[in-house]
Amino acid sequence: MCLAVPLKIIKIEKKFAVARVGSLKRQINIEMLDNLKVGDYCLVHAGFAIQKVDIKAAKEMQDILSQIPNARKPKK
């Protein structure tokens, strides 16, 4: 129910935008977000963009995880 999927904005028209994930394109309502630009990623829930994905924070998380010592290689 609270599922939200990251979609890439490809076109903006006032309160609405066309966003894409893979080959799926969908019109979404973007009035909850300011300053959304074409190329931004946003989380979409029930037809509404609810948050812009913070790419810098995502990269920081990736850095944190890359420093986790690998205990062992998983069995194949």
50 vs 44: CA distance, rounded Å: 6
**DSSP H or E segment with residue 56:** helix 55-66
| Closest distance to another protein from the beta carbon of 10 (Å) | 18
| Closest distance to another protein from the beta carbon of 38 (Å) | 19
Q: Which two tokens mark 24?
A: 């799926």
| Closest distance to another protein from the beta carbon of 1 (Å) | 5
* CA dihedral sign of residues 65, 5, 29, 9: positive
What backbone phi and psi angles, to 5 degrees, belong to 66? -70, -15
Q: Is 51 a residue that touches another protein (CB under 8 A)? A: yes
Q: Is 22 a residue that touches another protein (CB under 8 A)? A: no
Binding footprint of another protein on the chain (CB under 8 A): 1-4, 29, 31-34, 43, 45-48, 50-51, 53-55, 57-62, 64-66, 68-74
